[in-house]
Structure 1
Amino acid sequence: MANKEILLVVDVFSNEKAIEKEVVFQAIESALEMATVKRYATPIKARVEIDRKTGDYKTYRLWDVVAPNSEINGDVEFPGTQILLDVARFDNPDAQVGDMAQEEIESVEFGRIAAQTAKQVIIHKVREAERKKIVDAYKSRVGELITGVVKRIEKGSVYLDLGGHVEAYIAKEDMIPRESVRVGDRIRGYLRDVRSEPRGPQLFVSRTAPELLLALFRLEVPEVGEGLITLMGAARDPGSRAKIAVKSNDPRLDPVGACVGMRGSRVQSVSNELAGERVDIILWNPNEAQYVINAMSPAEIQSIVVDEDRHSMDLAVSTENLSQAIGRGGQNVRLATQLTGWELNVIDASKAEANSEAEANKIKDLFVRELDVDEDIAMTLVEVGFNTIEEIAYVPVSEMLEIEGFDEELVNELRSRAKDSLLISAIAAEEKIETNEPAQDLLEMEGMDKELAYELAGRGIITMDDLAEQSIDDLLSLPEMDEDRAAKLIMKAREPWFSEEKGK
């Protein structure tokens, strides 16, 4: 069936919507298939093929080739869409179960198709193609700064017009708090995600992401684009305050001054774009303690105690600077924590000094007692950084000889006494374990055997209460112990607890 009208429709939609002709052809085929199916009283399957050059099209009725259904006397369950294998082989001897049998039928006239149905199908297909085109165009731009005009505002969320019928979505939580935005305003955002959604927005933009701050500085500071300055990270309290760390790759260039700009012009431009957000520009330092000191600016840090294991730092500041270091609502220390990646704890310098002195006296007393030395030697060991007997026993002799007033004889004697102390402590601990005997309630507990009870006692688990306080993981190191048995033993040991609570 020739139909030049189809070719005309394809040309019009393709040119107006700037999409491939094949997409429009497929949309028209779907519309013709829907019109064909509607001609039948019972559900059927249909397929339409349009010749892309002439506009001719043919219509085929389709059946799924199936095996006989024994539950319904060897017939098919859905006659309108299924055909038995034996019947299908009359026309196609090579037919197999799972194939599709087809028969050409009379085509509906394109001009008679319900106009609304055809239009809806075509528009739907066109929209799908347009949305895919947008995703493909912006997928590579994730992480970039984009600019758009506020098109509409719905319940605090903002839709941006990026031009070319492209919209971006800024969720309410991605908008800067208390920022005044009106339709027609031109604003910038950070493209954080592009997703192919069947409906709704596809380009997701943020005004609160720290990456937006970095992108704005890249735009305002040419030295960043030239590689003379590296932006090392950023932290934000959107709409209120932010910190950004910068590093110079040229020793002659002041990175902080370059980012601030002449009379603060560059940082002010960034601040204006972010609804007046105040930006602290921090000098990055490879020494993490110094980096933290810089990040806590403008607060002055008197001393730092670093805990590598917990990845935290205790920062001591004077009493009068305590509120400034913490910031309103903990803002300053929170932003510094986010920027540096360290858990920062601000403490009063006077209290820190008292705690430090108490800890030093505790260690000094330990050295006096265990090493049998006078307080002067013990305090010297504390002052140079020794905290445990193990450190004194095993630190290289050369390091201890660097201590002022320590000679080889004194160092060897201290190391010898430290090792003796450790040995005595280990023997005492072993004897304590060997002499431990399980309590009667542990021995008589259901599910317990004598060997296991003594094994537990050797580990300091003497009573049922001791066992009740353990976790499953604590018991898994015991011989022939699995999770199931460990759980049952612990729950049995905890039964008296539950009985007491119920009695109350």
Structure 2
Amino acid sequence: MNTELFEAMDHLANEKGIDRDVLYEALNDALISAYKKNFNSKTNVRVELDTDHNTMKVFSRRVVVDEVEDDDLEINLDDAKAIDPSYEEEDVVEQEVTPRDFGRIAAQAAKQVVTQRVREAERGVIYNDFVDRLDDIIIGTVQRVDNRYLYIHLGKVEGKLPINEVMPGESYQVHDRIKVYVTKVDNTSKGPQVYVSRTHPGLLKRLFEIEVPEIYEGIVDIMSVSREAGDRSKISVHADDPEIDPVGSCVGQRGQRVQTVVDELNGEKIDIVHYSEDPVVYISNALSPSKVIDVLVDEEEHATTVIVPDDQLSLAIGKKGQNARLAARLTGWKIDIKSESEANDDGVLDESEDNVASEDIELDDEQ
């Protein structure tokens, strides 16, 4: 019976991909519980599992005291010394108390407890697998849809895609395959709960990391991403090596790399711009495709006033302010855009007319 029990444990470990130590810890707890229940014992006991010889032994544990108050938990010093003269007070005396038919009783009593631990261990394995996939892209299949979520089959677990994190214009049916970004993994009593998104900026970032070898290899860095999913996004990139063109690397030959990302995002427009530590240059780049005359920086307020040609004002601001909004998110700076005429009327240009020409040349070089 013992051999069958140990073989069953090994089989479970192999089949479920669970650490044997976890299973044997569960078995140990189950055997202690089984002994106390079946033999009406209040004694503290220890179970010794010998996986090499497929044996189980039960040992009672009693503390050596001068005066015994509880026979189940304590043993008199004189009685302890009769077992071994080296015992002193507060030592623990162990004596084997393994019942003759303990293997059969233990197997029956342990089944439920071990099954529960196996279930918990399986959940732990799945949870760890998906925690490792946090901030990553995974492909799943739409299982069902309600008014709050799309439920995505992700293998051993079901992912939840909130309806408001499906890209505008996208529609999915049951059995459709879908590429999603893992935003959150919770370890609940009912098992791992995985939340995914199609609108998260991280999805755009990971798509570029997958598509552009230079990003994957660390030659080109993605510095920031701002996104209005399904419509337009901006991404800033940088390379330490001046010989490397980070924007060109992301665009790819004939635009193939960026087009692959655009296709995955159903035509979402993507602006790829050079990152710069100089806010004047960075903000000018971020407002692409509009041209910029000057950028006035207020360090204290972490704000800027951007001056653009009159005919570029609507382009700089974008439809419903989108271009300016995305540029502000990308750079982390507040951006107030003024036309050249408006800046002249307000006297804004007068404050920096001495350096406008030189800055304009530098910006043109960067862009």
Specify the TM-score bucket, using the shorter chain as the normaliser.
0.7 to 0.9
User: Any residues of structure 2 matched to 1:76-475 within 5 Å, and which?
Assistant: 83=73, 87=76, 90-91=79-80, 93-96=87-90, 103-107=95-99, 109-112=102-105, 115=108, 118-134=110-126, 143-150=135-142, 155-156=148-149, 158-162=151-155, 165=156, 167=157, 169-170=159-160, 172=162, 175-178=165-168, 179-191=170-182, 199-201=190-192, 205-225=196-216, 229-247=220-238, 255-261=246-252, 264-285=255-276, 287-317=278-308, 322-347=313-338, 349-356=340-347
Q: Deviations over 1:90-131 (max 9, x none)?
A: 3364242xx76655445464434585x633322333334444
Instruction: Identify the residue that residue 370 of structure 1 maps to in structure 2.
Output: none
Report if aligned partners of 2:5, 2:107 keep a CA contact under 8 Å in 1: no
For the structure 1 residues 248 and 26, does the alpha-carbon distance in structure 2 shift closer, same or farther, using more than 3 Å as the test? closer
Report if aligned partners of 1:210, 1:236 keep a CA contact under 8 Å in 2: yes
Q: How far apart in 2 are the matches of 1:146 and 1:23?
A: 29
Q: How far apart in 2 are the matches of 1:188 and 1:119?
A: 40
SS of the equivalent of 2:330 reads helix
Give the superposition deviation at 1:339. 1.4
For the structure 1 residues 51 and 254, does the alpha-carbon distance in structure 2 shift closer, same or farther, using more than 3 Å as the test? closer
Q: Given residue 79 of structure 2, which amino acid in structure 1 is its aligned partner? A: F
For the structure 1 residues 330 and 64, does the alpha-carbon distance in structure 2 shift closer, same or farther, using more than 3 Å as the test? farther
Q: How far apart in 1 are the matches of 2:34 and 2:336?
A: 71
Instruction: Identify the residue that residue 27 of structure 1 maps to in structure 2.
Output: 26
Give the superposition deviation at 1:313. 0.7
Q: Deviations over 1:250-298 (max 9, x none)?
A: 7777654553345644323212323443222223345431221121123
Report if aligned partners of 1:176, 1:239 keep a CA contact under 8 Å in 2: no
Q: How far apart in 2 are the matches of 1:301 and 1:19?
A: 60
SS of the equivalent of 2:280 reads helix
Larger radius of gyration: 1
Instruction: Identify the residue that residue 412 of structure 1 maps to in structure 2.
Output: none
For the structure 1 residues 101 and 278, does the alpha-carbon distance in structure 2 shift closer, same or farther, using more than 3 Å as the test? farther
Give the superposition deviation at 1:243. 0.5
Q: Deviations over 1:22-56 (max 9, x none)?
A: 43333333222222233366866544323213332
> Structure 1: where are the runs of 5+ without partners?
69-74, 361-381, 386-504
For the structure 1 residues 3 and 286, does the alpha-carbon distance in structure 2 shift closer, same or farther, using more than 3 Å as the test? closer
Q: How far apart in 2 are the matches of 1:315 and 1:67?
A: 87
For the structure 1 residues 280 and 56, does the alpha-carbon distance in structure 2 shift closer, same or farther, using more than 3 Å as the test? same
Q: Which has the higher helix share?
A: 1
Q: How far apart in 2 are the matches of 1:206 and 1:243?
A: 18
SS of the equivalent of 1:305 reads strand
Instruction: Identify the residue that residue 14 of structure 1 maps to in structure 2.
Output: 13
For the structure 1 residues 244 and 29, does the alpha-carbon distance in structure 2 shift closer, same or farther, using more than 3 Å as the test? same
Give the superposition deviation at 1:89. 6.7
Q: How far apart in 2 are the matches of 1:238 and 1:88?
A: 76
Q: Given residue 259 of structure 1, which amino acid in structure 2 is its aligned partner? A: C
Report if aligned partners of 2:185, 2:192 keep a CA contact under 8 Å in 1: no
Q: Deviations over 1:430-485 (max 9, x none)?
A: xxxxxxxxxxxxxxxxxxxxxxxxxxxxxxxxxxxxxxxxxxxxxxxxxxxxxxxx
Give the superposition deviation at 1:306. 0.9
Report if aligned partners of 1:32, 1:110 keep a CA contact under 8 Å in 2: no
SS of the equivalent of 1:201 reads strand
Give the superposition deviation at 1:191. 4.9
In terms of mean alpha carbon deviation, does 193-202 or 332-341 score higher? 193-202
Report if aligned partners of 2:182, 2:197 keep a CA contact under 8 Å in 1: yes
For the structure 1 residues 126 and 88, does the alpha-carbon distance in structure 2 shift closer, same or farther, using more than 3 Å as the test? farther
Q: How far apart in 1 are the matches of 2:145 and 2:115?
A: 26
For the structure 1 residues 229 and 12, does the alpha-carbon distance in structure 2 shift closer, same or farther, using more than 3 Å as the test? closer
RMSD (Å) for aligned C-alpha atoms: 4.2
Give the superposition deviation at 1:244. 1.0
Report if aligned partners of 1:147, 1:188 keep a CA contact under 8 Å in 2: yes
Q: Deviations over 1:314-355 (max 9, x none)?
A: 123467755543345543222212211222223455443333
SS of the equivalent of 2:14 reads helix
Matched pairs, number: 347
Q: Given residue 267 of structure 1, which amino acid in structure 2 is its aligned partner? A: V
Q: How far apart in 1 are the matches of 2:173 and 2:62?
A: 57
Q: Given residue 23 of structure 2, which amino acid in structure 1 is its aligned partner? A: V
Q: Deviations over 1:174-218 (max 9, x none)?
A: 933444344444433445566766653276655444333222113
Q: Which has the higher strand share?
A: 2
Q: How far apart in 1 are the matches of 2:267 and 2:43?
A: 64
> Structure 2: where are the runs of 5+ without partners?
82-86, 356-367
Q: How far apart in 1 are the matches of 2:349 and 2:264?
A: 51
Greater relative contact order (Cα 8 A, min sep 6): structure 1 or 2?
Answer: 2
Q: Given residue 54 of structure 1, which amino acid in structure 2 is its aligned partner? A: H
Instruction: Identify the residue that residue 359 of structure 2 maps to in structure 1.
Output: none
Q: Given residue 175 of structure 1, which amino acid in structure 2 is its aligned partner? A: E
SS of the equivalent of 1:344 reads strand
Report if aligned partners of 2:344, 2:350 keep a CA contact under 8 Å in 1: no
For the structure 1 residues 3 and 343, does the alpha-carbon distance in structure 2 shift closer, same or farther, using more than 3 Å as the test? same
TM-score by length of 2: 0.72
Report if aligned partners of 1:168, 1:205 keep a CA contact under 8 Å in 2: no
Q: How far apart in 2 are the matches of 1:218 and 1:286?
A: 22
